[in-house]
Amino acid sequence: MLRMSDTSEIPALLGRTAGLHKALHEALKDAALDESLHTLLTVSTSDVAIEHGISVCMLVEAGHLTSANALFRTQFEAVVRALWLCFAATDEWLDRYMEAVRANPMKDPNCSPGMDEMLKDIERKAPPPIAPQLIELKQGIWGALNSFVHTGIAPAALRQTGFSFETARDTIRNSNALSSKATMVIATMSDDEQLVQLVIDIQLAHLDCLPPLNPHPTPTSTASD
């Protein structure tokens, strides 16, 4: 639950966010994508991250900040995986992954690298600005997000004190940044430079609902499970 003070800005931020999501969706509507396994897995994972981002905002709008922050961590993991698939997954890994899928379609293949390993691969192989942004975000809020996912002290304490406006605002902005990154992954997979530039232009037109260039930690970032 939000504290009653300073909540009037949240509907305006959510309204601008809806415009961001709509613009990103429209940008991808006619994206030309090949039918390779690499593209299929990467785009599908990006789509999951985008859906999570929309749902995070819906939960914030409903006042369910605990659930929103738990889902935000899932969105972060989906974006990292999408970026890893886009820039770092090898043909050998893709073949091994699909071999495991075909052997047991009801079980998720246990051959994916861990979060930190994927971030290191992204740092080595993706364009330079991407990995530092993700690493900085993870370092700032990961302990608190773990607490939300595993019902630790952060959600328990905040059920008593209420979520601040700043926490709700930062949850929306950080989630929007992840949705934008997931959209950029799909644009990158299209090999369409004009589409990539369009996604950049959409972000520049919605800076008010994205994190500042040097974001401060959210109030939940000091909590740990």
**Beta strand spans in the chain (E):** none
User: Which residue's entry shows tokens 């859906």?
Assistant: 51
**6 phi, psi to nearest 5 deg:** 65, 20
Reported confidence tier of residue 199, pLDDT bands at 50, 70, 90: very high
pLDDT at 2 over 80: no
For residues 130 and 122, is the Cβ–Cβ distance under 8 A? yes
Going by the DSSP 8-state scheme, the letter that residue 164 receives in this structure is -
Residue 168 contacts by C-beta under 8 Å, 6 or more apart in sequence?
2, 7, 10, 60, 65
Higher pLDDT, 167 or 225: 167
Residue ranges per structural domain of the chain: 11-105+115-209
pTM of the model: 0.88
pLDDT of residue 140: 84
Structure tokens, 180: 């934008």
pLDDT tens per residue, range 112-167: 899 999 999 999 999 998 999 899 888 888 888 888 888 888 888 877 887 888 88
pLDDT at 5 over 80: no
CA dihedral 17, 20, 24, 26 (to 10 degrees): 110
- CA–CA distances in Å: residue 34 to residues 37, 165, 217: 9, 43, 39
pLDDT at 220 over 60: no
**163 phi, psi to nearest 5 deg:** -80, 140
pLDDT at 218 over 80: no
Q: Which residues make beta-bridge pairs with 2?
A: 163
pLDDT of residue 223: 32
For residues 206 and 103, is the Cβ–Cβ distance under 8 A? no
Give the rounded percent of residues in the chain with a pLDDT score beyond 70.
91
